[in-house]
Amino acid sequence: MAQLTFREAIARGIAQEMRRDESVVLLGEDVGAAGGVFKGTVGLLEEFGGVRVRDTPISEQAILGAAMGAAMTGLRPIAEIMFADFFAVCWDIVVNEIAKSRYMTNGQLTFPLVIRSGNGGGLRFGAQHSQSVENWAMMVPGLKVVVPSNALDVIGLMAASIRDDDPVIFLEEKALYSSKMEVPDGEIVDELGLAKVLRRGGDATLIALGNMVPKALVAAKNLGDAGIDCTVIDVRSLVPLDTATVLREVIATGRMFTVEENPRLCGWGAELSSIVSEEAFYDLDGAIVRITTPHIPLPAADALEDLAIPSVERIVSTVTKSMNT
C-alpha cells in the first residue's frame, strides 16, 4: 500500500498501461518535460521517452487531430486537453469526427482514444477555466464519459478507459488533485459503467460525482449525527451509466438527492431524475431534489465561487429541509 495523491495516481495509471502495451502513447501541452501543468504526468517522459510521450504546440485541434489519426492507425493514444473549458476550441473534432467515425465506417475503424482534462472549479480560476463540462460530453452519442473521485478509482478507471475500443472523455477534478488515499500495490483495473455505494443508510440517497463525492460523504456523516441516515453513491461513469445501482438504492430509501457541480440546466442529475421518475415513481416518498451550481458563469471571487458550488452546509440544509416537509 502507498499514499498517493490524485495527481500521482494519474501518472501511475498511465504508466501501468504504457508498460503493459507499447501502443499506448501520450500527447498534449507540457505533458513531457514539465510533467503536466497540474503535475499529473511527472516521470513519464523519463521512463518512456520522447517518442511515446510528446509535448505539443498550444493547439487543441492539433492535439486531437493527431490523436484521432493515431487511434485510427493502431495506437492507443491518451490526449490531454489542459482545461476542460478548452474542449470548446476542438469540439468539432470530438463531436463530429471522434464520436461518430466508428459508427460511420460500420466498425471498420475503432477509436481506442482517451481524452483527459482538468475539470471543475473551486480553485479561483474564473469563468473560462473552471467549468464542469461533463454534461457537454454526456449528451454526445459515441463518447464514454468517466469522472473519478479518488486516487484508487483514477488508476482503475484510467486502465479500463485505455483498454476500451471506444473514445473516452476522462475528466479529472482539479480541486481533487492534491487529495490523498491509500492505494494497493500491483496492477489495478476497474470497469466502466459501475457506480459505487460508499455509505448505506435508510432515510435518503445522495448521488454525487467527482468533487461532490467527498462533500456528500461529509454531509451524510453530519446528517447522520442529526438523525437522518443517508446512502451515498459515487456515479463515477456517466456513459455508460449504472442505472441499476441508482434505482436499487433509491428504492431502498424512497428519497433521492443529486449533488452536482455542473450548472443546473441539463445537468446529469436531470437525466437520472427522469430515469428514476419513469422507473421507480411509486417507490418515492418525496420529490427528487437536485443540489447544483446555479446556471451562471462561475465567479472567480472566493466568496462568490464558494457560494455557487454546492457545499457541505448546503447539502445538509437542503436535505434536512426536504426531509422535514
pLDDT given at position 215: 98
What are the grid coordinates assigned to 245, written together? 445501482
pLDDT given at position 177: 98
| Fold matches, 2-183 and 196-323 | yes
Report domain extents, the chain. 2-183, 196-323
Highest CATH level, class, for 196-323: alpha beta
Residue pLDDT, tens place only, 4-50: 999 999 999 999 999 999 999 999 999 999 999 999 999 999 999 99
Residue pLDDT, tens place only, 222-278: 999 999 999 999 999 999 999 999 999 999 999 999 999 999 999 999 999 999 999
Cα atoms in the 13 Å half-sphere on the side-chain side of 57: 5
Q: What is the mean pLDDT of the chain?
A: 97
pLDDT given at position 325: 81
E-strand ranges in 203-306 read: 204-208, 230-234, 237-239, 256-263, 289-293
pLDDT given at position 100: 97
Q: Convert 208-238 to b/e letters by CB count within 10 Å (16 or more is b).
A: bbbbbbbbbbbbbebbeeeebebbbbbbbbb
Beta strands 144-146 and 168-173 are parallel
Backbone angles phi, psi at 191, to 5 degrees: -135, 135
Please check the confidence at residue 91 and state whether its pLDDT lies above 90: yes
Average pLDDT on 200-213 reads 98
Residue of 7, 129, 236, 290 with catalytic role: 129
The pLDDT-based confidence of 313 (bands split at 50, 70, 90) is: very high
User: In 3-state terms, the chain is what percent helix, strand and coil (to 5)?
Assistant: 40, 20, 35
Q: Is 295 assigned a catalytic role? A: no
Give the whole-angstrom CA distance, residue 91 versus residue 251: 38
pLDDT given at position 1: 85
Which CATH superfamily hosts domain 2-183? Thiamin diphosphate (ThDP)-binding fold, Pyr/PP domains (3.40.50.970)
Counting residues of the chain whose pLDDT is more than 70, the rounded percentage is: 100
